[in-house]
Amino acid sequence: MSAFDLPPEMAGDGMAAPRPELSSLESEACLLGACLLDNASFDRVSDILLPEHFSDPLNRAVFTELARQLCAGKAADVVTVFEGLDGRVSLASLNEMAQYVPSAANARRHAEIVVERYKARQLLSISGEVFDLAHDTSRPIAERVEQAQSRLASLAQDAPRDEWVSAYEGMVAHTALLEERADGKVRAWPTGLADLDDYLEGGLLPGKLVVIGARPAHGKTALAMSIGLHMAQDYSVGMMSMEMPHRDVRDRMTAILGGVPLSSVIRPNRGDGLNWTDVIAGAERARNLNFYVSDEPGARMTIHRLRAKARNLKRLHSLNVLLVDYVGLMAGVDSKQSRAYQIEEITTGLKSLAKELDIVVIALAQLNREIEKRVNRRPMLSDFRDSGSFEQDADVVLGLHREAADKPDIGGDWTNYAELSVLKNRQGRTGAMGLFYDGPKTKFSNWGGPAPQRSIQAPARASSLKSRGLS
């Protein structure tokens, strides 16, 4: 009996044989035969083909062993694969595969058919899940629809970028890009923080992953929102808030856009009350902003779910910038894996998402507790939890520190001073800059002067604030 002529109980994944239109055992056999006869065929299909794409378990085993041998730099044929499989597939079946293929030239087309049939089987499986979701009245309908969309989106796979480009062809094409830059047609997206934009050569570029790290209460969410709300004047910005619900995010938006203290937004009947004129003015400013918020809890937010939500926002509102608050709250796809493995999976996925959708992803991250043991608590790359994945995947890594968060009684200009360090910049320089932090309004802006000194007293602070028009 051949590998492509099995009884129903041995077909597929130990279940009944798949319907004919959902599998193509002939294409599976032709594909494997082509690779056995001509190892170069494997190189023509390996970019789109995985073992799980095969409906027949024995065909799957053959492909896996073929891939193992060829990826190890060894030649593979009927005999070497037979030996590698330890008798799980007969030599006669492998010979039949090799003889079955009409021509190795069609290997790519057979691979495409195998992948298409795999997706059809997955679609059938998902349809069963959608059926169950439709009847699960214990969950909100919006949540069920979103999950169904996420599962369907997981089947979408862009065509691989194949095509090697010569140095000359690449440079000719790049010259055109340089001309567009020189003419001002292609430019970076400013963050609204002049010193940061200077480090970033004008601002952020699509396809980049930016990570902002800080200890609790140092303002990383406020910094992300300050940048996001500024960029939303010209670009479409989405904020995935896994820590704060919609209400809390809108409280902060009211404080930032209205220029009113957050405390008065939360308790408008306390003290001097809420300046409703400023609140209304802030709401009018929001009218012109392309800023969208989702507040799904992080416990359910895997990278796949986030990708589906980002794709939907891209389709509806031409997403340009995605704020993720924050990475540490996201769940790994496999909860049994170590947290370090899950974080690596998430950061790799965020970088892929930035490239796939041609957007900027700004992800927030907590720093580890070891920083608390140092006298100098300014962030370093090694302070990021599971820092290896951040160092590897991020294009830009920023560390935020406020001395006043550690020493509330420090006084002087330190009250409003924050230091933002560019710890990694894949296409630029690193260094540190000062930012002005308006704590009551949870807003960051440009500092515009030298860093404060320990000797600065309160009168000097008042003078400094007056010079910036902030007194």
Q: Which residues pair with 292 in a beta bridge?
A: 238
Rounded to an integer, what distance in angstroms lies between the CA atom of residue 207 and that of residue 427? 13
Q: What is the pLDDT of residue 168?
A: 79
What is the rounded distance in angstroms from the CA atom of residue 237 to the CA atom of residue 231? 7
**Residue 411, class by beta-carbon neighbours within 10 Å (0-12 exposed, 13-18 middle, 19+ buried)?**
middle
Together in a domain, 213 and 307: yes
469 compared with 130, residue with greater pLDDT: 130
pLDDT in the model for residue 20: 57
* 66 pLDDT more than 70: yes
Average pLDDT, the chain: 82
Check whether residue 89 and residue 216 sit in a common domain.
Answer: no
Domain that holds residue 343: 188-467
282 pLDDT band (50/70/90 cuts)?
confident
Q: Which two tokens stand for residue 364?
A: 């927030």
Q: Encoding tokens for residue 46? A: 């390996």
Q: Does residue 196 belong to any structural domain of this protein? A: yes
Query: Does one domain contain both 288 and 386?
Result: yes
Verify that 252 and 353 share a domain, yes or no.
yes
Note whether 118 and 254 are same-domain residues: no
Q: In total, how many domains does the chain have? A: 2
Is residue 292 scored above 90 in pLDDT? yes
Shared domain for 145 and 17, answered yes or no, is yes
Which CATH number does the domain housing residue 352 bear? 3.40.50.300
Residue 97 has what pLDDT? 86
Pair 181, 201: CB distance under 8 Å:
no
Residues 324 and 421 in one domain: yes
Of 314, 430, 299, which is closest to residue 361 (Cα–Cα)? 314
108 has a pLDDT exceeding 60 = yes
15-54 burial, b if ≥16 CB within 10 A, otherwise e? Answer: eebbeeebbbbebbbbbbbbbbbbbebbebbbebbeeebb
Q: Which residue has the higher pLDDT, 335 or 301?
A: 301
Residue 169 lies in a domain: no
Residue 44 C-beta-side C-alpha neighbours within 13 Å: 17
| In a domain? residue 429 | yes
Kindly report which listed range (207-211, 363-367, 464-468) carries the lowest average pLDDT score.
464-468
DSSP per-residue string spanning 149-197: HHHHHTT--PPP------HHHHHHHHHHHHHHHHTTSS--B--S-HHHH
Interval 408-425 mean pLDDT: 89
Q: How confident is the model at residue 469 (pLDDT cuts 50, 70, 90)?
A: very low
Tell me the CATH number at 56.
1.10.860.10
237 found inside a domain: yes
Residue 261 has pLDDT above 70, yes or no: yes
pLDDT for residue 245 is more than 60:
yes
Mean pLDDT of 126-152: 83
Residues 231, 138: one domain? no
Pair (403, 259) in one structural domain: yes
pLDDT single digits (tens) 32-41: 989 888 888 8
Q: Answer yes or no: do 125 and 226 share one domain.
A: no
Record the tokens describing residue 105, joined without a space: 């030239």
Does 431 have pLDDT greater than 90? yes
Regarding pTM above 0.85, the answer is: no
In this model, does residue 157 exceed pLDDT 60?
no
Q: Is the pLDDT of residue 319 over 90?
A: yes
pLDDT > 90: percent of the chain: 23
Cα separation, 261 vs 268, in Å, equals: 10
Q: pLDDT class for 212, splitting at 50, 70, 90?
A: very high
Domain identity same for 304 and 387 = yes
Residue 189 confidence (pLDDT) above 80: yes
Question: Last residue of some domain: 138, 153, 168?
Answer: 153
Indicate the residue type of 7: P
The top-scoring range by mean pLDDT among 77-86, 95-104, 262-271, 383-392 is: 77-86
Q: What is the DSSP letter of 53?
A: G
- Backbone dihedral angles phi then psi of residue 458, each to the nearest 5 degrees: -60, -45
| Structure confidence at residue 397 (pLDDT) | 94
Q: For 221-240, how does the pLDDT look when each residue is reduced to its tens digit (9 = 90+)?
A: 999 999 999 999 999 999 99
pLDDT for the residue 140:
83
Is residue 171 one of the residues assigned to a domain? no
Domain boundary among 153, 178, 200: 153
Is 380 part of any domain?
yes
pLDDT number for residue 298: 63
Helix (H/G/I), strand (E/B), else coil: 361: strand
Q: Where among 128, 153, 178 does a domain terminate? A: 153
Q: Give a yes or no: residue 174 inside a domain.
A: no
pLDDT of residue 3: 39
In a domain, 163, yes or no: no
Tell me the per-residue pLDDT of 334-349, one tens digit each, with 9 for 90 and over. 777 788 888 888 888 8
The answer to which of 66-70, 238-242, 299-303 has the lowest mean pLDDT is 299-303
- List pLDDT tens digits, range 347-377: 888 998 899 889 999 999 988 877 877 878 8
Judge if 134 and 274 occupy the same domain.
Answer: no
Would you call the peptide bond into 326 cis, given omega within 30 degrees of 0 as the criterion? Answer: yes
